[in-house]
Chain A
Amino acid sequence: MEEPSPQSYTGRVRDRRTRPIVKVVDRLARGLISFGGVSTIVAVATVCVFLVIVAVPLFLPSRIAEAGGSRIEFDRGGRAIARFDVDEYGAIGWMALEDGSFVAFECDSGRSLGEPRRPFGDAAPTAWSFNPEGADFCVGFADGTVRLGEAAVQVEFIGENQAPEPIRSIPVGAREFHEDALYFHTQPGQFRRHTFAVSLHGPLEVGRDAVRLVGHTVRSDGSVVAALAGETLTINNVVEVRNFLTGEATPTARRTDVPYVPAPEHGAPSRLLVSRLGDQMFVAWEDGYLRRYDTRDTARPSFAQELRLTDEAAGIRLTSLGFLLGRTTLISGDSAGHLRAWFTVADEKGSDGLRLARTRDFAGESAVRAANPSARARWLAAGYADGRVALYHVTSSQTMASVRFGGGAPVDAVAIAARGDRLIATAGDRCRIWAVRPGHPEINLATLFRKVWYEGFPEPRHMWQSSAGVDSFEPKFGLIPLIFSTLKATFYSMLFGLPIALVAAIYTSEFMAPRLKMRVKPIIETMASLPSVVLGFLSALVIAPWIEYRVPRVLTAFVAAPAAGLAFAYLWQLLPVRWSLRLARFRLPAMAAALPVGFWAAWKLGPRVERALFAGNLHRWLDGQIGNAFGGWFLLLFPLCALVAGFVVTFFGGMFLRVFTARWSRAQMALADLARFLLGAVLAFGLTALAAVILTGLGFDPRGSEPYHFLGTYVQRNALVVGFIMGFAIIPIIYTIGEDALSAVPEHLRSASLGAGATPWQTAIRIVIPTAMSGLFSAAMIGLGRAVGETMIVLMAAGNTPVLQMNIFNGFRTLAANIAVELPEAPAGGTHYRTLFLTALVLFAMTFALNTAAESIRLRFRKRAFKL
């Protein structure tokens, strides 16, 4: 359009081209908005993706790979290994050999760290005992003495000026030997020194004969040493007495003989172990026969139990026996390739109230030659006769990884660095080192969702207990108690909130004057934006203490309030038509009056109900101290029986009334209806009482602490309180969405129904509610989603104990509250942290699925309603 356009009326020349700037800006805006929009949506999606990224490593398998320069030769001249260990960093390995010498060597080069130590001189020990998670050891000698000592690689961080001169110049990241020590230059000005040291305490006599076996533990109040010298088994309480003048410590022991009978049919006794606390002592024979002694009182040890660690087949020998972290769980290995975990559990039949039980069994293909636990976690390494080295996590019963020694030479010893990142094994003259990435072996789907047999518990169980004050504590990550609690909170709150929200929505939409509706709806909607922390605080500090001593009244109110409403309705029916029409505007105020009447009745009746059902004191009744099961069954069954009675009376009674009352007047009819209601009430109570009597007579009791017991000990912050206040919290959302769904039902349907002579009630129940059913359902689902994820209310009002009980009077800990309580303390990247992310993901998935289902139902409903 180069030439001027035809004359316009104004005489101005109009440029009909679009100016380039407009086009550019338009394109820019399109680009920017598309980019911004898409990236915002992507950012939102990141939430889910990130949760997955953090949680997924929990399930990745452990990895084991050959470390560089990891094949070394180490000649020990055919001497057997008594102890094989590696330091925390996996840098220095050391072994104690049968002739009493200690040798340390660098793992990567095989170079030895100084000369072999011979702390015992020429005397070769006859028995050894090592602590797998500490430095202490105990040796026995042919002259009937034992000696305690410590052997370990010591690791120190030192500054530049403490480091010896030749070391200072090595570059950062390098390492160097200097005078029996290995130095690492970790960062500028800082060095790490590894030295190997063996120290020894004075000798201690335990018997006259040569010590054949020794076992020990070091406690804060002294050591416990058990020794088998000749045919005498003794247990010794060792206390060090320090001489003030010389500073020399001499051990003194209180010796007690243990009742011991030789068992030659099982071969020679081959192992002796003392648990960490010194409360158990185990003696094992070559064929796997084991005796357990109760040494809780070391002055009076007693025989407690005997059993076989191996299968009863001939020729199977016990090849290894040791402790797992915590020195409570025994790990036995045998020549048939079984690696088994055992620990004591409470058992009334046991002579000391305990029983050693086999809890895990890892089957291998060839004989177990060596097993050594990690010093920081509940996993262990095992070496087999066919050259295989495997890592097992005991609690989660999983094989983490396994590798094979080249050539299949029988493995002599294995060890894991305390940090869990290096594994070292030796077979003959050869040593091999592997880099390990254990990952999170304690977690798998089975430990998360199935019962796990934790140390010290009588049977497998679901448990969540993420931390405790003790070092050897094992975190327990069973999600079932948390998920169960979440469902419990949701169940009780829906039980309270859902009916109220739905009936309120139906009433508002169908029976209320539009002007009043405009006022009422915002009031309830206001509740939706009330911060849940406010509700949580009120429930914990106001409502929970208030309810605690008024439970019978509150329970009665759940029956009395609706009953009062019904009673008022039947009285209202008694009014002549003329009156009831004239008073129609006072119907809602009358309903409002019914509520206080109901509450007043509940207040008055509460103590009577308590006397009748709960022997006058609910709390003691719940503890099971007084009364019988009748009251509990009555309480539990009443809602069900009331529903049944209501159904019977409405259905059959309605039929009867329709057939036989044709000529009755309205007043007669109203009276009949009232009679029907009373009959229904009597029927409900009678049915409940009958059912309760039968169940009580059969010996069932709803009280107790098992998951399926609906009643039990009263805790101030409990499911009743949470159900009440969280039900209250979800009322607005269900109400709003439900009311919207009801209002969306096209008006012409109502008009047609009313025009055909149906009453508003018939229209509501037969036309409107069925049409809006899917909308109401989606309202309920969204309310459910809200209840599942609600945090502050359950955090403050539920007591936060992760127990697995249906008991309405007990506390619980939901997924959301658990995250709020524990995440701030969980170290980033750890198992606990990742498990909490996993729970967040579970919550996310649960609510997202619920909401999506609700949303698609709602959309379909909307489409259908539109079509109508």
Chain B
Amino acid sequence: MSESSTNSGGGAPRRPGGRLGRDSAALLAHGEPAVWLMGVGLVLALAMVLGLLGFVFWQGIGTLWPTPATRVTLHRGAVYLGEVARDDRFQPAEAVIEALPPSAIERARAELDANEGWAHRRLIRTGNYELTGEHFQWVSDFEIAQEERPPWALVIERLTWGRFYGEPTAFQLLHYTDEFAETSDPAERRRLRLEHARRIAAELGEAPGRTIRFVAGPRWVAPEEVSPNATVAAVAEIWEGPAAAWAQFLRHHGAVRGRWEERRRLEKYDTGRINHRKEKARLALRRREIALERIEMKSGAESPAAARARAALELARAEYGKTDRETEAEFLAVRSKIADLNRENARFRLALVTADGRNKVIELADIVRAYPANQLTWRQRLAIYGSRWREFLLDDPREANMEGGVFPAIFGTVVMTLIMSLMVVPFGVLAALYLREYAKAGPLISSVRIAVNNLAGVPSIVFGVFGLGFFSYFVGRGIDELFFAEKLPSPTYGTGGILWASLTLALLTLPVVIVATEEALAAVPGSMREGSYACGASKWQTIRRIVLPRAMPGIMTGMILAMARGAGEVAPLMLVGAVKLAPELPVDGIFPYLHPERSFMHLGFHIYDLGFQSQNSEAAKPMVFTTTLLLIAIIAALNITAIVVRSRLRRRFQTGVF
């Protein structure tokens, strides 16, 4: 090449046969196809990342949006009402087609021919599990005889049995007649109740669109038809027709839910408090018993120490008896309050008819949310969407975690991550300071450094195994025997708990913090240290005043990255304390407020459990996607914070170097 170019005197190639003119060789030298393959690889990687994030985002954001309810009537006569969950294509068996009526067969064949043998089908969430035993139903397009969106199709989210789909037929409001327990004669009691019922009916008076019935046993009869021998337990106001029933529902649902909330509060907090007090007294008693046993074993049953212990035990027994009586009384009071609330709530009921014509009466207290899915305006949809998100973020789960919220999981994740950071940061920084500032550099220290680095690559499950064996079984059981002997054999610290989970994750994320801190320390220019020493500062003064402040953003980055890693890690948690459903939060209002021995719920484990362990994974799917979105959002937020902090750090160095 050089030869020819000197010959031609530079510039453009002149000689057509010369080497310089080899445009063609240059083409090969560019390796275009290989570069393209690489480019396609990169694009594929990018597409997968973005596609995955987009998919999760789309699925997570969309699941809580209220969709219309569809009623389909099939050729074979079945009727389904529900929301379309997803759709799919499949290859139907010939027998399925042949079972159709003749007119439908033709259309089905035409559809199949147009799509190379594939047919479209939809998965309809039909709910009404207690009536049908199914949550979902596949419906192929060619099976459908008629499809519509009935205006009064209600979607009802319930506390039990999952969703209900149906049309309201009536709203029932009961007025109880008094018990009249003072009369012992049953006939007299019957008469008094009937009289009371008549009084109530008279007070209610006449209203358009409303009928009044007397509830006598299983039969509801008109006031004038009631037989004098029937015991009238209540008077029922009945609003017939969907519109009237719906209006009444809207009128009463808020108050009923309010009472339900109060009942739940009573059950959860008041009962919990009473139980806690009782348990405390029982443990005090048990402690005395153990003390007595120990003394008897050591110095014999006849020794004075044993006599003293016995007396103390008697005192404790008396104390326990007193507490037992008091708590029993309190308990009865709370129970009667709960019973009153339940009785009051049982007055309000909604009667519905399902798509296949079955009747069902649902108590309003059992209804979390209901809406006529096909009549909603955008604003109403948005309101339902918002209320669902609120429930999701702030409420407890129900229906085996498949409905309701994930608040305990969010709370558990946050508390665990915080405890973990409290553990990992001081120790990580200490270790990094030692490695970078104090230890004499040598082969030992550099091998320690490599080892610490490599620990970041050790599988997280190994840390889980260590956490279970060392923290829970070894340390935890030791603590139990020393301090919680009265609770044995049920373990306190000797099993998985939030403290052990945090410690395990702290070990797991320690390398992240050490490496990040070391890098930050190394990034502090030597000139600054030397300047500090030159001013007469001691080593510690230099570290405290000069090095650490400079390195702080780096340390923060390390901490945030550690938090992000810790929050997303699930495998070790499965072994050391994350559970499907924790009855109590690790932090609450009962002394000592923070309960590090309790097991906890975790968003990542929630995803695993719902997606993998759940009985009905199809119904759990929406919940999993939303939880996934939430977890990714939390971790992305942490990571972005780390990136922002890192860029701030860089900027500071750019301006700060002198």
Contact = CB atoms under 8 A, between A and B. Distances in A.
A761 B31 CA distance: 6
A50 B469 contact: yes
B461 A565 contact: no
Contacts of A669: 23-24, 27-28
A47 B507 contact: yes
A759 B31 contact: yes
A796 interface: yes
A789 B538 contact: no
Given A47-B462, A587-B39, A18 B427 contact: no
B33 A570 contact: yes
B46 interface: yes
A37 B438 contact: yes
B37 A503 contact: yes
Interface string B16-38: 11000111111111111111111
B329 interface: no
B473 interface: yes
A788 to B, nearest CB: 7
A762 B29 contact: yes
A786 B457 contact: yes
Given A33-B433, A665-B24, A538 B52 contact: yes
B39 A591 contact: yes
A823 B605 CA distance: 16
Interface in B551-600: 561, 564-565, 567-571, 574-575
A507 B459 contact: no
Interface in B40-60: 40-50, 52-53, 55-56
A581 B561 CA distance: 43
B540 A29 contact: yes
Interface centre among A540, A569, A735 (most CB of B within 10 A): A569
Contact of A537 (B433, B457, B624): B624
Interface in B396-418: none
A532 B631 CA distance: 11
Interface string A301-328: 0000000000000000000000000000
Given A44-B452, A595-B47, A669-B27, A529 B16 contact: no
Contacts of B49: 523-524, 526-527
B459 A789 contact: yes
A819 B450 CA distance: 27
Contacts of A538: 52, 55-56
A32 B429 CA distance: 12
B621 A541 contact: yes
Contact of A823 (B22, B293, B430, B575): B575
Contacts of A786: 457
Interface in A587-631: 587-588, 591-592, 594-595, 598, 607
B538 A22 contact: yes
A38 interface: yes
Interface in A532-583: 532-538, 540-542, 561-562, 564-566, 568-570, 572-573, 577
Given A504-B45, A511-B39, A531 B465 contact: no
B161 interface: no
Interface in B444-474: 448, 450-455, 457-466, 468-470, 473
Given A507-B39, A765-B31, A816 B461 contact: yes
A336 B443 CA distance: 61
Given A524-B49, A823-B465, A852 B450 contact: yes
A600 to B, nearest CB: 14
Contacts of A33: 430, 433-434, 437-438
B499 to A, nearest CB: 16
A264 interface: no
Interface stretch (B263-271, B317-325, B635-643): B635-643
A33 B436 CA distance: 11
Interface centre among A41, A508, A572 (most CB of B within 10 A): A41
A541 B458 contact: no
B644 interface: no
Interface residues of A, number: 129
Given A33-B438, A51-B465, A524-B46, A44 B568 contact: no
B510 A44 contact: yes
A611 to B, nearest CB: 12
A465 interface: no
B592 to A, nearest CB: 26
Contact of B428 (A40, A50, A529, A566): A40
B564 to A, nearest CB: 5
Nearest to A826: B468
A677 interface: yes
A654 interface: yes
Interface string A191-214: 000000000000000000000000
B29 A761 contact: yes
Nearest to B470: A50
Contact of A534 (B47, B466, B540, B607): B607
A25 interface: yes
Nearest to A724: B48
Interface in B329-385: none
Interface stretch (A216-224, A227-235, A247-255, A835-843): A835-843
Given A34-B434, A508-B42, A591-B36, A536 B608 contact: yes
A43 interface: yes
B42 A531 contact: no
B391 interface: no
B612 to A, nearest CB: 5
B16 to A, nearest CB: 7
A592 B463 contact: no
Given A526-B639, A592-B43, A828-B473, A855 B35 contact: no
B565 A43 contact: no
A380 interface: no
Interface in A484-532: 499-504, 506-508, 511-512, 520, 522-524, 526-527, 529-532
Interface string B600-619: 00001101100110000100
A566 B35 CA distance: 9
A792 B571 contact: yes
B459 A847 contact: yes
Interface in A450-488: none
B421 interface: no
Contact of A541 (B453, B466, B624): B624
A475 to B, nearest CB: 19
A623 B462 CA distance: 37
A848 B458 contact: yes
Given A51-B466, A537-B607, A569-B35, A561 B44 contact: yes
B297 interface: yes
B496 to A, nearest CB: 9
B435 interface: yes
Contacts of B461: 789, 791, 816, 819-820, 840, 843
Contacts of A562: 37, 40
Given A23-B538, A526-B639, A762 B31 contact: yes
Interface in A1-26: 18, 22-23, 25-26
Given A534-B628, A561-B40, A54 B431 contact: no
Contacts of A850: 457
Contacts of B21: 663
Given A38-B434, A540-B612, A816 B571 contact: yes
Contacts of B643: 522
- Sorted nearest first, the 4 A-B pairs with minimum C-beta distance are A37-B434, A789-B459, A531-B568, A761-B31
22 contacts: A29-B544, A40-B514, A41-B448, A54-B469, A503-B41, A511-B35, A523-B46, A526-B636, A529-B565, A534-B56, A535-B52, A536-B608, A538-B55, A540-B611, A541-B621, A561-B40, A588-B43, A669-B27, A757-B1, A791-B571, A795-B608, A823-B465
Given A34-B438, A529-B561, A847-B459, 11 more contacts: A41-B431, A500-B41, A522-B643, A529-B639, A531-B635, A537-B612, A564-B40, A565-B39, A668-B24, A759-B29, A823-B468
